[in-house]
Amino acid sequence: MAIQFACPWCTQTISVDDSKAHERVECPYCNRPVKVPTESARDLPPPLPLPSQNMEDPPPAGVQPSSPSMPMKGELPLFRLAGTRVYLHFTWFIVAALDVTRFAHRYHNPIWAALEYCTLFGIILLHEFGHVLACRQTGGQADRIVLWPLGGLAFVKPPARPGAYLWSMAAGPLVNVILFPLFTLFAFVLIKLQWKIVHPDFYRFILTVCFMNAALLFFNLIPVYPLDGGQILRGLLWLKVGPSRSLKAASIIGFGGAILIALGAIASRDIWLGIIAFFIFAGARASWRAPQNLAVEFVESEEAARRLAALSPPPIPERQL
C-alpha cells in the first residue's frame, strides 16, 4: 500500500510506501525533508510525474521564469544578451589597473597588456554564458552574470534533478575545452609564420591567451566545492546519495581544498591565493549549513503546528436532528 500526502513545503502530492510511515524522506519535487504520516490524506489530487533524469524533460509545474535581476551594491550594468543581464563590480577597475601596470613590461606597447586583461574576462564571460544557456536548456532559471576581480558568477537555478544540475555545471568548463584547440591551432600557425619576429607583441598576446584559457580550464576542474569541479563532483554524488548528502560531502571536500590552498598561499606569499582560499571556505561553509537549516526549519514548523493544534479548541460535533 502507498501513502499519499501533501508536501508541507511545495504542496505537491507525494506517494510513499507504507513501510516508511513515521520516517523522514526527501520530497522528490523540492528535495526538502518531510515526515511520512501513518495514513493517506483525503481529497488529494493525483501525484504529478516525478522529474526524471532526462535533461530534456519539461520543467515541473509551477516554475515561473525568473524576474529581471536588480544590481547589487557596487555592480554596474554592462549589457543584456539573450535575456541575461551582465554586471561588472566596481572593484574590477582597481584590480585591472594594478594588473595591467604589473604586466605591461611584457609588451613593447602597453596597450597589449590592457587587451590581454580584457580578453581574459571575455573568456570568463563565455564560460559563464555556458552555465546560463545549459541551465535554461534543462528548464532552469538563469538571468544574471556578475564579473568581478576573481572571475565571474553566473546565477543559475537548474531543476532539482542531478542530470540537469550536472549539465549546468559542466557546460562552463566545456566552453574552455572548445576554445583550447582553437587557440592552440592559431598559436601554431603564428609559430609557422615566424610572427615571433615580425609581430612579437601579437605573438606573445596569443600565447598568453592560450595559456590563460588552459589555466582557467584546469583551475575550474579542481574537484573542490564550490568550484565547477566540486559542483560536478557533487552532481555525481547526487546520483548515488541524494541532494543533501552530496552537498555535505562536497562541502567537506571544499573545506579541505580551502585549507590546502591557504597553506599554498602562505608558502608562496601569494595574496590572491589567500583570497581564493577564503571564498572557497566561505562557500563550503554556506553549503554545509544549507541542509541543516532546512532540517531546523522543518522541525520548527512541525513544533509550531503542534502548538497551534494544542491551542485550538476541539471541533464542535454536529447536532443530531
Distance CA 226, CA 224 (A): 6
Is residue 247 located within the same domain as residue 261?
yes
Is residue 28 located within the same domain as residue 90?
no
Phi, psi of 149 (to 5 degrees): -55, -30
269-281 confidence digits (pLDDT tens): 888 888 888 888 8
Is residue 212 located within the same domain as residue 236?
no
Domain boundary among 221, 237, 252: 221
Distance from CA of residue 87 to its chain's centroid? 17
Is residue 189 located within the same domain as residue 285?
no
Q: Which of 92, 164, 102, 161 is nearest to 125 (CA)?
A: 92
Q: What is the mean pLDDT of the chain?
A: 77
Please give the pLDDT value at position 133: 93
Is residue 179 located within the same domain as residue 230?
no
Is residue 210 located within the same domain as residue 140?
yes
Is residue 107 located within the same domain as residue 118?
yes
Q: What is the pTM of this model?
A: 0.67
Least confident of 10-24, 104-118, 184-198, 215-229: 10-24
Is residue 97 located within the same domain as residue 114?
yes
Number of domains observed in the structure of the chain: 3
Is residue 91 located within the same domain as residue 128?
yes
Q: Residues with Cβ < 8 Å from 298, sequence gap 6 or more?
A: 8, 32, 33, 34
CA distances from 21 to 24, 25, 210, 245 (A): 8, 10, 58, 22
Distance CA 196, CA 204 (A): 8
Q: Can you name the residues that pair with 154 across neighbouring β-strands?
A: 145
Q: Which of 269, 270, 267, 256 is nearest to 222 (CA)?
A: 256
Beta strands at 141-148 and 151-157: parallel, antiparallel or unpaired = antiparallel
Domain boundary among 162, 186, 221: 221
Is residue 93 located within the same domain as residue 167?
yes
Is residue 75 located within the same domain as residue 150?
yes
Q: Which of 62, 6, 61 is nearest to 36 (CA)?
A: 6
Is position 164 within any domain?
yes
Q: Which of 207, 26, 19, 220 is nearest to 119 (CA)?
A: 207
Beta strands at 84-89 and 141-148: parallel, antiparallel or unpaired = parallel
Domain of residue 96, residue span: 70-221
Is position 5 within any domain?
yes
Is residue 231 located within the same domain as residue 214?
no
Residue 83 pLDDT > 90, yes or no? no
